[in-house]
Chain A
Amino acid sequence: MDNNPKSDYHEYEHQPAAFTPSENLTDMATAERPHHRPPEHHSFYPQTPPPPPPPTRVAPPQDPIPNPPAPQSMVPQPVVKVLSPRGVEYVFMTIALVTGAIGLASALLAVVNGNYSFSVLYFPLALLLVSVPVFSWLFLRLKQAELLDPAARLDASKRRSTQFIQISSFVVCFFTLIGFLATIFAKLSGSYSGSIMKVILDVLVILVVAGGVLFYYWRDEHRLS
């Protein structure tokens, strides 16, 4: 056993070189960073004439192809979706319209059923007293703005609100009609004991209110298109 500590050192000295700076620098310059190759006129690289272009077939003329869209990650995406200033007013008007329609339908249902008492009418009255003035003011204000600037009718926030109103009122009318027919059939079979005339009046009230809203916004929407 060699106890000389230098022997290990000597042995290490004779290991094959694992790293040659000159070779590796060349590799890095040529292989790993091809785009950073110096221009051809640099003295370090020999000036060689460019190779002749390969023979190519002449392709027939094609229609111009549009540029491909940019990657999704490059397109700015809104992280917060906000309504337009007019859109906020349309949302306010939608809330007032839905509340007022509920109040109006409730008051009319009470009247057609012959209930005029305080306890029946006070809540629909409260709904009407708040929502009718608010809705009227917002409706006339927005209608005036649309007349002055027709482009305001195409506001996306406005259409979102009006489409919500249309869908809601359609659902109410749709299921009211189904309910009406179901009541008629129940009456024919004797399983419904109430007055069919009152049911007709109730259905008419709901259809006049919800159907009126649906008709107005349906016509308004289709006049746009």
Chain B
Amino acid sequence: MQRSLTKYRIGLGIIGLFTLVILAVVLVQASATRQDQKTEDSANNIATELNNYNGYSLTGPAPNSLPEAGINNAPSTISYTKTGRHSYRFCVTYKLTSNDFSASSLAQNVVARGVGAGTNYNANQYYQGSYSYSYLYINPIHHKGVNCQDVSGYTANFNSSI
């Protein structure tokens, strides 16, 4: 009887081993994910303050530095550089890549295509170039490393000499 159960024990053991590997991967990434989450929260708070400082169309001049806009507690993973009177570059450094991939959505979509209800599911990947907006937007989809956004006001295009 024990022999006939051995093959089932081996199969279940393989699945258990796979589970342990996934557990190790998740635990290794836990601290980096927590750090990235703190960075993203700080970046969102700074973005709100910067957008309120100059208006969402950057009508006013960009601040020379973050402390000038009243932001004194920016973490080292966030950098601000003024590139013009009405433009600046905002960079955030992440430890891990983040996208909106969802395995359950993917599986549902594969099966749903069988009943004619699926879509061309593709997880949104981070756009490798830098974004350019008239206001600062922190994208939750990002890649590992430095992610920058260039912000320039509409008035900068017309009154660049001011």
Contact = CB atoms under 8 A, between A and B. Distances in A.
Contacts of B26: 118, 121-122, 125
A183 B1 contact: no
B52 interface: no
A132 B11 CA distance: 11
Interface string B2-40: 001100110010011011001101100110110000000
Given A122-B26, A140-B9, A113 B106 contact: yes
Contacts of B33: 117-119
B106 A202 contact: yes
Contact of A176 (B4, B22, B110): B110
Given A121-B25, A140-B8, A199 B114 contact: no
Nearest to B4: A147
Interface stretch (B64-72, B79-87, B119-127, B148-156): B119-127
Contacts of A178: 113-115
Contact of B103 (A106, A118, A180): A106
Size bin of chain A's contact surface: 35 or more
B146 interface: no
A95 interface: no
A147 B1 contact: yes
A203 B106 CA distance: 10
B54 to A, nearest CB: 32
B110 A199 contact: yes
B107 A143 contact: no
Given A129-B23, A140-B5, A192-B120, A180 B110 contact: yes
A109 B107 contact: yes
Interface of A: 100, 102, 104-107, 109-110, 113, 115-122, 124-125, 128-129, 132-133, 135-136, 139-140, 143-144, 147-148, 172, 174-180, 182-183, 186, 191-194, 199, 202-203, 206
Closest 5 CB pairs of A and B: A175-B114, A179-B113, A179-B114, A178-B114, A106-B103
13 contacts: A107-B18, A109-B107, A118-B33, A120-B101, A121-B22, A128-B15, A132-B19, A133-B16, A135-B12, A140-B5, A143-B8, A147-B5, A182-B116
Interface of B: 1, 4-5, 8-9, 12, 15-16, 18-19, 22-23, 25-26, 29-30, 32-33, 96-99, 101-104, 106-107, 110-116, 118, 120-123
